[in-house]
Chains A and B, each alone.
Chain A
Amino acid sequence: MPLARPTRFGKPPPIRKRLPADTRRKLPRPPVNLRVREYAPCRLSDHYHTTLSDNLMYMNYSHTLQSDLPPKPPREIRLRWDPSNPYAKYRKNDPVGGTQWSKIPPEPSTPANITRLEAVQIHIMSKDALTSRSNLLGVIAALRALSGETEAGGGALAKGVKGVEIVLGKKQVGGWIRAGMPAGAKVTLKGSAMYDLIATLTEFVLPRLREFHGIPMPAAVSSHTSYLPASSNAVKASDVAGVVSFGLPAPAMGFWPQIEVNQDAYPKMYGMHIHFITNAVGVGAQERARALVSGFQIPFVRKSS
């Protein structure tokens, strides 16, 4: 049985009733909500299911005894606002204490919460766009070529994917950015498109970067090298969010084969940020996310302190 031969399709049923037309696009509206799902087997997705998921389960497994479940609630270290207290009743309900987000333990290991990749996001910020919006056109064209996505994706985007989006400034920062101004563009990829992008990155882009030893990780924190006192809370929000991010310099854009074929068609080369969004949360989430991402042959190096 030849592998590549597609299934033959019969003739579609005749359309007996005229389809209602979309007033805006002037096109017939299909009677069902069409969504394109996976349309080919995916090599890296298979690699995840046959090899990586097992290894990640073994590497990240933390043993919880059945007698310890459900875990004990944390000790309340500060007073909570109590409406039954007549002193507090008509006073302002101020939040008391922090949420301790940096100390939330990871969920107990189960087959359902093995670290997995949910999405990959590419984000390009262009400072030129602040002076003239038309400078964003090069960014949008580059992202379209890199990801194969457009704003509406031919009307058939996968669930949770929005195509190439414009990023607006959130805050007013003097001399740098203003709120509501278009400052860049981003694209979120899921499913096989996300795995295709990772394959292109590791096979075409990273091997051709000059002086690239790996994605730098922060230096290991130890009592000898850290300038912070041992009691200080050195945990950052990114450490517990399970997102791995890194940047590529502007010259690296020419190494993507999608851009390389007609590099002259773009006004200039842009640097970009790539975010790998995983389902890991809690203490040590970033380590677990890095273990997953390195399974797709993306190297990491520890900065020497």
Chain B
Amino acid sequence: MKRSRRSFLRAAGATTAAGAAASLFPWLRAAGQPTARVPKLAILYFPHGTIWDRWRPSAGDWTDSYILSPLAPHRDRVAVIDGLRIADQYAHRVPHTFDSPMVLTGSPIDTTSTEYYREDHDTYYGWNTGTSIDQTIADRLAPTTPFRTLELGVACGGAHPGGRLIYRGPRVWRDPIDQPQRAWDQVFAGFENPERDQDALRRRSVLDAVLSDLEAIKPRLSAADRLKLDAHATGLREIEQSFADVGALCEAPARPLNAGLELDIDTQLGLMASALACGQTRIASLQVRRAENDGSPYPWVGITTGGHHLTSHGRTNVEFDLLAELYRWYMARVAGFLARLAATPDGDGYTLLDNTMVCVVSELGIGWNHNQDNIPFLVAGGGAGRLRSGYLDLRASAPLHNRLLVSMANVMGIEDIQSYGSWDDAAGPVPGLLNPL
């Protein structure tokens, strides 16, 4: 029987008001606790850190920060963290490339590999050796959502170690979905598809045949290639899981346009909010560009030549002013996302913002000298009641950013993760960030 999911929703007389929606969200049903708060995680990456003296607030009230000021409407929902550093034990570091994949893995790049050759550095290296925290959380929670995790991107380009942040395991990165239309096709196309049931039947049979073909060919390949095909098979099983009839009964967003580059940030964040609201996933990320050699100009903030990467090498007020405009513009995008989450009901009396932990991350503290002693991390949202807000000054103790990765796991309900990543040197979440259980 053909059944439009939207028409079903209408027929059931449901609305998207908080109370009624709660009973319709399947993961709540599955948990058997219709009013339980289910934490969600949204990670937003922007390259090249910040400009300290335009970022740092003058007093406890952080909203007088020029760069952060667009977030002022959410002042009670934002924690500004001042003083987390990214570990650096590299004998020789290729900036950005080595740091970017450390942001979410807390583990170093493989410096013994010769897979990747940077001729200008005359250096060989490989991919990251760790697993990113979002993927570990997904492994532990084994979510029943149609999408285990969702990775979105804006202009992330081809795959190389400096341009991928999400790692399913060592060497196994995940590509972000770069264009909004492609993201919509992946996440929401099924909502409006009147032939969804027939498609699912056919796709299951086809994927079964493909899985059996993968198994048949494996014995003829090398051990490394067999791992590659195993990862492929895992991906196919995840696709099969997304056919399960557990998609949320909510209004799918309209298929968006690909506007291109930064104009897509808002669109991608809108899709992410919808995916979280509709229960398509609980764990999502957005990667804006890649840090390594991004030569694109940002004419709307005045960066017209040289691009972000080269401009970030500058250390005069000329470059600092331009970059501060860009980073403030990025924060305005984040503010829009928070507003969207705040306007979306999620369970009895709560909003999506109440239940989500939004982490804004970067690979550097400040661009010009590739400093990673203090990364401008930001945590927003309620994290289902676990997160505190305000300005957290940790500069005296300067913990590793791995504390933030632990905080993500804790907020998502995984308390036994107390250290994370092979370069972690301590235990526990970011001091002062979490409410006690």
The judgment on whether A and B are partners is no
User: Hey, which bits of chain B sit against chain A, CB under 8 A?
Assistant: none
